[in-house]
Amino acid sequence: MNNQNQIPKSWYGKRYYSLDAYCKTVYQEKLYKIAIDAGLTCPNRDGKLDTRGCIFCSAGGSGDFAVSGRTHSSVSEQLEAGKALFHGKPVGTGWIAYFQAYTNTYGSPDYLYRIFHDALSHPEVRGISIATRPDCLGEEILSLLNTLLLQFPEKFIWVELGLQTMHEQTAAFIRRGYPLSVYEEAVTNLVNISVPVITHLILGLPGEQKEDFLATISYMNRLYERQKLLAHPHRAIPMFGVKLQLLHILRHTDLDLLYQKNQVSVLSKEDYIDWLISGIETLSSEIVIHRITGDGPKNILRAPLWSLDKRNVLNSIAHQLKVQDTWQGKEYHGSTHNGTL
């Protein structure tokens, strides 16, 4: 069989199963995200777990692109302000309200219900995506999400978890603040209420080599297969997704201090593309890739500066996938999974 025939047409010309392709297939159009700042904080910053945060996290709490919650108080105001930023671009009619900054399930259930309900009530919002930590998804929060899903059956709720790596040693170094078992429990609980999970992974974390990153990709495959085994026989397993992101050194972070003392380094563009392509080809073709490169905020990005030319990076990745004649899942040969991780 010709290799081209092995790449699904539903991937719309890409060599991986992108978020774009997923939205076009499921919602018949590309959906754009509007990042919301809900004015929350994070237990890794407010002292509950730590006051310093993850070592790579900027003062904006990984929400440097969010519409400011300080100048636009309500979620609907932020959505309108966010829409205005796309002025003149052909963006269609559907939006995803992306609760991005800090930990968006770390607040009182009443407040969280109000902001999520506000976003889901917006007629042009197809759904919401909530970035949070797996240790902030207790029973009350899960029940709140379940209630909202029942109230808005035609809309979706996704949850994004910043796992970054499966390796406990790296997790301790970056001060992630929870063990892998907490993440696994959160994924199972979310899948049980049919909430899709998107896991953030970082390429090039301090001390990690390519094989460590590929071990995390392999773990994603096993986790996905396990969820399929655990899924209710009459309920489809919700979409699983990953966001793949290069390690950025942002100014005034603890990682920046280590970088300036030459104690950590960043990946070259060539190495990043090499790691990424190996990750893509060993990832199950059923897992949606929401992102293959990150957006380091220009004004605070110290390194690697090559990542600022995002168009060039994306073109180089597409070119290299073609040169190597490879695609997502090409080197993933299924799983004889027995339910263990």
Binding stretches for ligand SF4 (CB under 6 A): 42, 44-45, 53-54, 57, 61-62, 102-103, 133, 162
- As a whole number of angstroms, the distance between CA 8 and CA 155 comes to 26
Dist. CA 336–CA 341, nearest whole Å: 12
Nearer to ligand SF4, 247 or 277 (CB): 247
**What are the tokens at 14?**
């890409």
Distance CA 93, CA 26 (A): 15
**210-230 helix and 180-192 helix, angle to the nearest 10 degrees:** 40
Q: Which residue, 244 or 280, has its beta carbon nearer to ligand SF4?
A: 244
Name which of 53 and 279 has its Cβ closer to ligand SF4: 53
Q: Which is nearer to ligand SF4, 249 or 273 (CB)?
A: 249
Find the shortest distance in angstroms from Cβ 3 to ligand SF4: 39
Residue 63 or 127 with smaller CB distance to ligand SF4: 63
Contacts (Cβ under 8 Å, ≥6 apart) of 190: 137, 142, 145, 159, 196, 197, 238
Q: Compute the least distance from the CB of residue 55 to ligand SF4, in Å.
A: 9
Q: How far is the CB of 175 from ligand SF4 (least distance, A)?
A: 8
CB closer to ligand SF4, 40 vs 283: 40
Sequence-distant (6+) residues with CB within 8 A of 326 are: 15, 277, 280, 281
For residues 52 and 310, which CB has a smaller minimum distance to ligand SF4 in the complex? 52
Strand 301-303 with 249-250, pairing: antiparallel
Q: Output the smallest distance, CB 80 to ligand SF4, in A.
A: 25
C-alpha 157/C-alpha 52 separation (Å) is: 30
- Bin 160: left if φ > 0, else alpha if -120 < ψ < 50, else beta: beta
Rounded to a whole number of angstroms, the minimum distance from the CB of residue 38 to ligand SF4 is 12
CA 193, CA 134: separation in Å to the nearest integer?
15
Q: Determine contact, residues 11/287, Cβ cutoff 8 Å.
A: no
Shortest Å, Cβ 303 to ligand SF4 = 18
Nearer to ligand SF4, 69 or 162 (CB): 162
CB of 43 to ligand SF4, least distance (A): 7
Rg of the chain (C-alpha set)? 19
Q: Answer left, alpha or beta for residue 268, where phi above 0 means left and psi between -120 and 50 means alpha.
A: beta
Nearer CB in complex with ligand SF4: 53/69: 53
Residues 6+ apart with CB under 8 A from 274: 210
Shortest distance, position 42 Cβ to ligand SF4, whole Å: 3
